[in-house]
Structure 1
């Protein structure tokens, strides 16, 4: 598996991954009614942010975006988001993308990385982030409308770099 910078031609493979995650509605707070063009504008970061894909051969298995969590006085803290194709989950793609994002942020001088909205019932993501050194610094109760479980919390997770 190779992680590289997103190229516009990748959207043909990235969109189905993103659409599948958004449509499932159980792990990501994006509106499933958004058209592909809106999702593209939200997902593909403009510099100094960064968007990447994880590929195996000519197939894209996952994607990540990263950048400053907030502008101005908050710009020393990075954030990132990750999506992995359903049939590629459990193969280390998410971990590789998260490690890439941490390295990217560290090499650009960020002091920390913060995830603002990790669905508390997304156990795979929460466990992965904990193994990578993140801690839950707070949970916003009932902030996410899960399609099967109703309202569940959103974790804010943080780690120093």
Structure 2
């Protein structure tokens, strides 16, 4: 597997799993009915560094971005998003993307990373904790999970 900066032509290869993940409505606090055009604007927005993970045959199997979470005097706190093709989970792709993003953010001068709305039932919470993130707060019952009812949204932080 290799990780590289995404280019505009990668979007058609990201969109199928992006849509599948967001439409499932169990891990991302984004509208499950997000159009492809709006999804592209969210994921590939100017100012975001976007990366793709490719398998050995060049198939895009995941994507991630890093961007400032705040502006002004707090612009050195990063935010990131991660998506791995659901058919490829459990292969270390998410961890590899996360480690890449953490290194990139640190190299770019960010001093910390914050995730603003991690669905508390998201299996990735364990990954983030294993990479040194802490839950600094939880907004109780903020997320209408399609199978588990109302669950909390974690705010997670890690110094870089």
User: Normalised by the shorter chain, which TM-score bucket?
Assistant: over 0.9
**Residues 63, 83 of structure 1: 8 Å contact kept:** yes
**Partner Cα distance (2:149, 2:30) in 1:** 16
Q: Which residue of 2 aligns with 1:153?
A: 152
Displacement of 1:107 in angstroms is: 0.2
Q: How does 1:90-101 map to 2 (within 5 A)?
A: 90-101=90-101
Gaps of at least 5 residues in structure 1 are none
Q: Which residue of 2 aligns with 1:128?
A: 127
TM-score of the superposed pair, with normalisation by structure 1: 0.96
**Residues 67, 80 of structure 1: 8 Å contact kept:** yes
Displacement of 1:87 in angstroms is: 1.1
Cα deviation 1:116-153 (Å, max 9, x = unaligned): 1111001x211000110000000000111100111100
Q: How does 1:57-96 map to 2 (within 5 A)?
A: 57-96=57-96
**Residues 45, 66 of structure 1: 8 Å contact kept:** no
Root mean square deviation of aligned Cα: 0.8
Q: Secondary structure at the match of 1:103?
A: helix
TM-score of the superposed pair, with normalisation by structure 2: 0.97
Gaps of at least 5 residues in structure 2 are none
Matched, 1:7 2:7: yes
**Partner Cα distance (1:58, 1:12) in 2:** 14
**Partner Cα distance (2:111, 2:44) in 1:** 23
Q: How does 1:44-59 map to 2 (within 5 A)?
A: 44-47=44-47, 49-56=48-55, 57-59=57-59
